[in-house]
Structure 1
Amino acid sequence: MTFPSSAAGSEPRFDVLLPYYGDVTQMQDAVRSVLAQSGDDWRLTVVDDGQEPSVPGWFEALGDPRVRYFRNERNLGVTGNFNRCLELATAEYLVMMGCDDLMHPNYLTVVRRAVDANPGVGMVQPGVKVIDGAGRETDTLADSVKRRLYAPKNPGPSVLGGEELAAGLLRGNWLYFPSICWRSDAVKPIGFRADLGVIQDLALVMDLLVAGERLALEPEVCFSYRRHAESESSAKAFTGARFAEARRFFLETADRVEALGWTQAAKAARHHFSTRLHALTLVPTALRLGHRDGARTLTGFALGPARR
């Protein structure tokens, strides 16, 4: 099922891609936040990976020529839908927005300023605030750690890249993936790894840094990232499976960047302190909910040897 844009004119400069699955109301709020952007140099593409019966009709009634809507014939999963969105992107730059996040009205203004000031930059990380499931501004432990321990301190507009940025992100990923604007011709040939289900965003960033791409920082806040509470009812959250994937990625990456002579980045990847800390914070809840095997797995990941 497809409702393509009928807008005439030249190719947009920005493709806003919205891979959708889940809450209908939050998705609609996300769409409205994109429609509030200034300028006529952007297009919104929604790729629906779900089966909510009301969604196609809502987009058809929207009738906005700046919006394309596609529904997948079969469920592709998170990474598969990300790659489907990339296939549909043709603009110079793209944003892979979360379907429960919100652009502020100044988002594209901030991003335009960054790409105009830094021609050819591969990624733009604008300023972000964090909201909870109800839309209230919040400051979780994860975000506080990102800001205080890993993110650049008091940055103005700046450009980062190479081993320094790689090492910092491998110590602790302080980026907010759904808020990033990417240069399409850098991202599309790489895509998202099908063998990763949780850490595919950091994997893409590392691929770009190894290829020589740079990241522009624009600290003006223009995006709300929604942080949902960990679901205590989900046993999967406490099995440690996500951390097994993370360990594999970090150790593979350590070998890869060491071959480039990036010794500090390789050391950061082998230790991967931030993901170990995350695993350790889940142990008390796993024990309280009776997931003893999961608690042992999480503890082993957090406290076990860093190297193979």
Structure 2
Amino acid sequence: MGEGGALNAVLASESLPASAAPTFAPVAEPRPQVSVLLLCFRDADYIRAAIESAFAQTVPCQIIVSNDCSDDATFDIAVEMVAAYRGPHRVSVRRTERNLGVSAHFNDAMTLAHGDIIVMMAGDDIAYPERVATIVRAFDQAPDAMVLGSDFDGIGTRGEPIKVSFRVRPERYELDYYVRIGRLIGLLGATMAFRRCVYDRFGPLLGPIEDNALSLRGALLGQSLCLRQPLIQYRRHPGSVSGTVFARDEPRAVATRRRYERTVQFYRGTADDLESCLRQMPELPEPKRRLARQVLAMYRIEADAREAIIAQPRWRWLGPVMRGLAQRGLRRKSAERALKLLLPRSWFGLR
């Protein structure tokens, strides 16, 4: 199929109303090795800088700007920029018929991605020009690597440098890392890239958040990388996904409870995705399957523990606490949680 035929196929597959159909810029040959998914929602103040940074990539890419049906000017700005684009990338812009949420929006946009490597971008971040080239080189040098992230430079609303706390991942690691450190956080989604088999092998993501699920899928299939080179400017602001998802900018009276409630949803969704992947991998070597089951148990236990703390009488805390004490990776955290049985909920931010 020629390039024009491929574009027609994409248009036919959208099934969107005319007002929401993708807008395409002039195309480039040959078919790009990399697809950039630039996912945006209510990013009108930042989307120009994000798209410009995607256009500035030094490796020709397929760039999909996908708006999750936001109620601001984000989509209109993106349409204008794509229509005016002249350059080496194959660029399109589209929006969903209705707001889908983070993971479902990602699944929706993935149906249009054709690259062997998928690079994630957010509508409020800025990629450095060498980002895609560095990612391609890293994957070429590490054939067993399935997913990678990178360091980043934090910026605020106006682009000013800020410090953003995020636990540094090892440069290379596998499933045992999650069990060893006892933390259920994957690569930072804004910095992620992955081989498309990480998605195609298992199908659409389950759960509400994409980064943990993709991180664990990559670890199931091979190694994970975290490049020490900052490849993006990661923006923190009140309307950012991380700010709203984790209630970082809400009053303390409600933030802790909402953060617990949302974390329960994320952990359960990630556990469901990992469990589904394991069912689809009967060939997985038993040592790796045991590690994956331990990670799965950690997600389930932590979800149950948080739900018990916010919604159950104290005697119901004992089950998750005891399971955590028996689970490698959760023993210290579960011991700390056991001490909370003796304290008023208000001492750790709950009513």
Task: Give your verdict on TM over 0.5.
Answer: yes
2:81 to 55, 59, 67: 59
**Aligned twin of 2:173:** 160
CA distance in 1: counterparts of 2:179 and 2:143, whole angstroms: 24
Shift of residue 183 of structure 1?
Answer: 0.5
Task: Give the direction of change, closer, same or farther, for the CA distance of 1:299–1:111 in structure 2 (3 Å limit).
Answer: farther
- TM-superposed deviation, 1:29: 0.9
Check the 8 A contact 1:131/1:224 in 2, yes or no.
Answer: yes
The residue matched to 1:95 in structure 2 has which SS?
A: strand
Tell me if 1:231 matches 2:244.
Answer: no
Counting only pairs closer than 5 Å after superposition, residues 122-141 of structure 1 correspond to structure 2 as 122-140=146-164
Report the AA paired with residue 9 of structure 1: E
In the alignment, what sits opposite 2:143?
119
Is 1:179 the equivalent of 2:191?
A: yes
Change in 2 beyond 3 A, CA 1:246/1:85? closer
Partner of 1:105: 129
Match for 1:222: what amino acid? L
Change (3 A) 1:268 1:296: closer
Q: Structure 1 residues 24, 6: closer, same or farther in 2, change over 3 A?
A: same
| Deviations 1:229-277 (CA, angstroms, capped at 9, x unpaired) | 523269577333213214535776699799922276467546659xx8x
After superposition, where does 1:1-308 map in structure 2 within 5 Å? Answer: 1-39=21-59, 41-49=60-68, 50-53=70-73, 54-55=76-77, 57-64=79-86, 66=89, 67-119=91-143, 121-140=145-164, 142-143=165-166, 146-147=167-168, 151-152=169-170, 155=171, 159-161=172-174, 163-167=175-179, 171-173=183-185, 175-194=187-206, 196-198=207-209, 200-210=210-220, 212-228=221-237, 229=243, 230-232=248-250, 238-239=257-258, 240-249=260-269, 260-262=289-291, 265=295, 268-269=298-299, 272=302, 296-297=310-311, 305-306=320-321, 307=323
Structure 1 residue 84: Cα displacement = 1.4
How many residue pairs were aligned? Answer: 274
The one-letter code matched in structure 2 to 1:64 is R
Deviation per residue, 1:279-303 (Å, 9 max, x gap):
8xxxxxxxxxxxxxxx955998xx8
Contact 2:35 2:113 in 1 (8 A): yes
- State the AA in 1 paired with 2:208: G
What is the distance in 2 between the residues matched to 1:106 and 1:60? 21
Alpha-carbon offset, residue 138 of structure 1:
2.2
Contact 2:147–2:195 under 8 Å retained in 1: yes
Question: In the aligned structure 1, how far is the partner of 2:25 from the partner of 2:219?
Answer: 34
Query: With structure 1 as the length reference, what TM-score do the two structures score?
Result: 0.73
Q: Per the alignment, in what secondary structure is the counterpart of residue 122 of structure 2? A: coil
Contact 2:152 2:232 in 1 (8 A): yes
Letter of the 1:232 partner, please give it: E
Unaligned runs of 5+ in 2: 1-20, 238-242, 279-285, 325-351
Q: Which has the higher contact order (CA 8 A, sep 6+)?
A: 1
| Per-residue deviation, 1:177 | 1.4
Deviation of 1:76 (Å): 2.6
Answer with 1 or 2: which has the greater Rg. 2
Contact 2:23 2:83 in 1 (8 A): no
Q: Take 1:113 and 1:299, find their aligned partners in 2: how far apart are those partners? A: 53
- The one-character-per-residue Cα deviations of 1:124-163 (angstroms, maximum 9, x if unpaired) are 22222222333223224x42xx13xxx33xx5xxx322x3
Identity of paired residues, percent? 21
Matched to 1:260, the amino acid is R
CA shift in 2, pair 1:51/1:268, >3 Å = closer
| Cα RMSD, aligned residues only | 3.7
TM-score, normalised on structure 2? 0.65
Indicate how the Cα distance of structure 1 residues 171 and 272 shifts in structure 2: closer, same or farther if over 3 A, else same. farther
